[in-house]
Amino acid sequence: MDDQTRMLAGLGGLGGLTQDVGDPDSVRKQLGQPQQDIGDILQQIMAITDESLDEAQARCWPEEAPAQWGGTDDPTEGGGAGRGTAGGALPLNFQHRKHALNCHRMKPALFSVLCEIKEKTVLSIRGVQEEDPPDPQIMRLDNMLLAEGVSGPEKGGGSAAAAAAAAAAGGSPNDGSIEHSDYRAKLAQIRQIYHSELEKYEQACSEFTNHVMNLLREQSRTRPISPKEIERMVSIIHRKFSSIQMQLKQSTCEAVMILRSRFLDARRKRRNFNKQATEVLNEYFYSHLSNPYPSEEAKEELAKKCAITVSQVSNWFGNKRIRYKKNIGKFQEEANLYAVKTAVDAANVSAQASQANSPATPNSGGYPAPCYTPDGRL
DNA sequence: TTGCATGATTCTAT
DNA sequence: ATAGAATCATGCAA
């Protein structure tokens, strides 16, 4: 009989320890009775935990088996990894003893107590600042990536965000969608790289986490490792990986900013309106020269006719008013031209109307030339 | 290349 | 919020 088996047997022999072995409180209560025995057990535990890995191994499993309940807490360090694997390759002798240990009725209770002791000593020193509040930096990055359409919903999000960004940046997006196909393509590229990298990180993180968790779970059969401790280890791993993720997010944000400054901020790039649009605007302007301030509805109507935005209509009228006012003489010819045009159009409409009313009306197009003032008004 | 035309932006006043 | 004014930046013809 080796030390541990003896110890477990000894525990089993403690007075009244026959029920509720899974409940640490109950065990503690019962353990509290025989002071002498507790001292013995603790001494045995100390003896086991104090001895080196080699000693333990030599004493417990002289030839082949690994040490248990000793060594480092960190499964990622040194010999911890793989030692506890429950693979079928382990010698039969070891398997038997391990099985005996695992099945011992006192094991869960004892482990709970040991975990608690461990918790109160070693881990309380390490894990002081474990509850990390959501990092404001990473939240900022997340928000930005979402706003830029890099993270978040797949299709449409990107272009919508680009249009939104253009609107926010410029006040009057030049119909958002037209110029920025190149921008959107680049943004999609960034988005794709970001997602594939993120996926890689997430996969690596979950793989590593699983690996460590399996390791710890396996080791928890032979070492006092509480679920809380495993949780803590997992959160440490997640923290490490999230810092890597933050770097990824940061560099993605930078890339997006550079892209934006290169594409969207070149919004001053302009196209002249087409001839028809200019004509429509001028017609309205000169036919309302006494009050060239189109209402919101009129602007919308004009915008629709000219296939431009309402704010472009506003810009156009703003520019036109100020430039006309500054140099009426220069615009005189244009004013006359549009005055005639408007009059002819009106005449045509009127003629058509009267023709509809009385088809026999003669001289349908023969209206006198419009009389207009020097500023172009009829 | 240059100068003018023109759409967009920014600032200020109302 | 809107208009006026100044200015910027680009388009385009000469």
pLDDT grade for A302, boundaries at 50, 70 and 90: very high
Domain interval for residue A255: 133-150+180-269
3-state DSSP assignment of residue A363: coil
Residue A333 lies in a domain: yes
How distant is C1' of B14 from CA of A321, in Å?
Answer: 18
- The pLDDT value recorded for residue A45 is 52
Residues A262 and A191 in one domain: yes
Q: Which residues touch strand C (CB under 7 A)?
A: A 266, 268-272, 293, 296, 314, 318-319, 321-322, 325
3-state DSSP assignment of residue A272: coil
Report the range out of A83-92, A234-243, A298-307, A360-369 with the highest average pLDDT.
Answer: A298-307
List the nucleotides on chain C closer than 7 A to a protein CB.
Answer: 2-12
H helices of chain A, in order, are: 3-12, 24-32, 35-50, 53-60, 80-83, 92-103, 107-118, 124-126, 136-147, 157-170, 181-219, 227-263, 275-287, 296-306, 310-326, 328-357
CA A88 from chain centre, in angstroms, equals 43
How distant is C1' of C12 from CA of A178, in Å?
Answer: 22
Residues A189 and A290 in one domain: no
Mean pLDDT of A150-177: 45
Residue A7 lies in a domain: no
How distant is C1' of B3 from CA of A277, in Å?
Answer: 25
Mean pLDDT of A3-19: 37
How distant is C1' of B8 from CA of A313, in Å?
Answer: 12
pLDDT grade for A132, boundaries at 50, 70 and 90: low
Sequence-distant (≥ 6) Cβ neighbours of residue A283 within 8 angstroms: A338, A341, A342
Residues A185 and A238 in one domain: yes
Among the listed residues A26, A53, A31, the one whose alpha carbon sits nearest the alpha carbon of residue A42:
A31
Distance, CA of A177 to CA of A181 (rounded, Å): 7
* Smallest CA–C1' separation from A322, nucleotide: C4
Higher pLDDT, A150 or A285: A285
Percent of chain A scoring above 90 in pLDDT = 9
How distant is C1' of B5 from CA of A317, in Å?
Answer: 15
* Smallest CA–C1' separation from A269, nucleotide: C10
pLDDT grade for A294, boundaries at 50, 70 and 90: very high
Among the listed residues A267, A313, A271, the one whose alpha carbon sits nearest the alpha carbon of residue A294:
A313
- The pLDDT value recorded for residue A165 is 42
Mean predicted lDDT score pLDDT of chain A? 65
pLDDT grade for A184, boundaries at 50, 70 and 90: low
- The pLDDT value recorded for residue A320 is 94
Task: Answer yes or no: are the C-beta atoms of A268 and A166 closer than 8 Å.
Answer: no
Residue A191 lies in a domain: yes
Residue A33 lies in a domain: no
Residue A173 lies in a domain: no
Residues A236 and A281 in one domain: no
Residues A138 and A249 in one domain: yes
- For A70-128, write each residue's pLDDT tens digit: 334 444 443 333 333 333 444 556 556 556 656 777 767 777 777 677 777 665 555 44
Task: Answer yes or no: are the C-beta atoms of A150 and A190 closer than 8 Å.
Answer: yes
- The pLDDT value recorded for residue A284 is 92
- The pLDDT value recorded for residue A77 is 40
Lowest-pLDDT range, A88-92, A93-97, A170-174, A184-188?
A170-174
Among the listed residues A347, A124, A93, A335, the one whose alpha carbon sits nearest the alpha carbon of residue A226:
A124
Q: A4: how many CB neighbours lie within 10 A of its CB?
A: 20
Residues A144 and A264 in one domain: yes
Report the range out of A25-39, A63-77, A145-159 with the highest average pLDDT.
Answer: A145-159
Phi and psi at A271, nearest 5°, equal -115, 140
Task: Answer yes or no: are the C-beta atoms of A286 and A324 closer than 8 Å.
Answer: no
DSSP class per residue in A172-201: S-SSTTTTTHHHHHHHHHHHHHHHHHHHHH
Q: Supply the pTM of this predicted model.
A: 0.40
Residue A296 lies in a domain: yes
Residues A284 and A263 in one domain: no
Percent of chain A scoring above 70 in pLDDT = 48
Residues A187 and A244 in one domain: yes
Residues A283 and A190 in one domain: no
List the nucleotides on chain B closer than 7 A to a protein CB.
Answer: 5-10
The domain total for chain A is: 2
User: Residue A351, class by beta-carbon neighbours within 10 Å (0-12 exposed, 13-18 middle, 19+ buried)?
Assistant: middle
Residues A219 and A305 in one domain: no
Sequence-distant (≥ 6) Cβ neighbours of residue A289 within 8 angstroms: A335, A375, A376, A377
Distance, CA of A371 to CA of A377 (rounded, Å): 8
B7 C1' closest Cα residue: A270
CATH code, domain with A308: 1.10.10.60
